[in-house]
Amino acid sequence: MAYIEGFVAAVPRANKEAYRKHAEGAWPYFKKLGATRMVENWGDDVPDGKVTDFKGAVKAKSDEDVVFSWIEYPDKATRDKANQQMMSDPAMQDMSDMPFDGKRMIFAGFEPIIDDGKRGSIGYVDGCVIPVPAGNKQAYVANSKEKAALLKKCGATRVVDAWADDVPDGTVTDYKGAVKASAGEKIVYSWVEWPSKEARDKGWEAASKDPSMQPSNLPFDGKRMIYGGFAPLLDA
């Protein structure tokens, strides 16, 4: 996996099936443009935060749930070309039939720095967005490798951390605002794949006892990290 387009959106709860069908119908289009995988995950265990959280990131309303999704491309060039083609496609300009408010969706391009594990059937996903000081990149990678090894030992099947590459400023919402990033910080888009929610709950219970998971050992401000558990809605 060489490049990630990561998304977070707020979708009306009543539109869950409409959203799934919308994403399913969009996959052939993205695949034609070179995408190798598209994964959509519906909010299941998304906590309220004291400083930041996923709901605030996309200004989710009380009747909306958060969707955490990504598209995998073989490389950045393929992703950039795909986006250029989409921007010039009249069919992609009409957002009136989308089952959610596209203006509040946040999206960006990320380069994987950790991809530990193999693609397989996803039973549950933990998603995170993290503000990391640019100067702490190597420290973050080292910490992430240690974390990935531990989580796999505790039952995870794949751990991915992707570093900010093309993160636009939004007019309503964006990744930087989602985690209150400062000018010297970069955004990390991260997820953990599990075989099931039960495996995830047991895995985190075991992993949380490890010293490497303690806040004092993190090379970033954990209070501004947003995270949540998501149930797979589409894996194409």
What was the pLDDT predicted at 95? 58
What was the pLDDT predicted at 213? 78
Least reliable range by pLDDT among 76-85, 212-221, 225-234:
212-221
Q: Per-residue pLDDT for 154 more than 80?
A: yes
Residue type at position 31: K
What was the pLDDT predicted at 216? 73
Give the C-alpha separation, 55 to 40, whole Å. Answer: 17
Q: Per-residue pLDDT for 119 more than 90?
A: no
pLDDT digits (tens, 9 = 90+) for 44-59: 999 999 999 999 999 9
What was the pLDDT predicted at 214? 74
pLDDT averaged over every residue in the chain: 95
What is the pLDDT confidence band of residue 1, given thresholds at 50, 70 and 90? low
Question: DSSP states of 51-79 as a string?
Answer: S--HHHHTT--TTEEEEEEEEEESSHHHH
pLDDT digits (tens, 9 = 90+) for 62-103: 999 999 999 999 999 999 999 999 888 877 766 568 899 999
Give the C-alpha separation, 157 to 118, whole Å. Answer: 7
Q: Which residue is listed with tokens 């299941």?
A: 44
> pTM to 2 decimals?
0.95
Q: What is the CATH T-level fold of the domain 3-235, as seen in this structure?
A: Alpha-Beta Plaits (3.30.70)
Average pLDDT over residues 30-57: 97
Hey, how many other C-beta atoms are within 10 angstroms of the C-beta on 44?
16
What was the pLDDT predicted at 210? 87
Q: Which residue is listed with tokens 């209150």?
A: 180
**Element holding 21 (H helix, E strand):** helix 16-32
- What percentage of the chain reaches a pLDDT higher than 70? 97
What was the pLDDT predicted at 93? 66
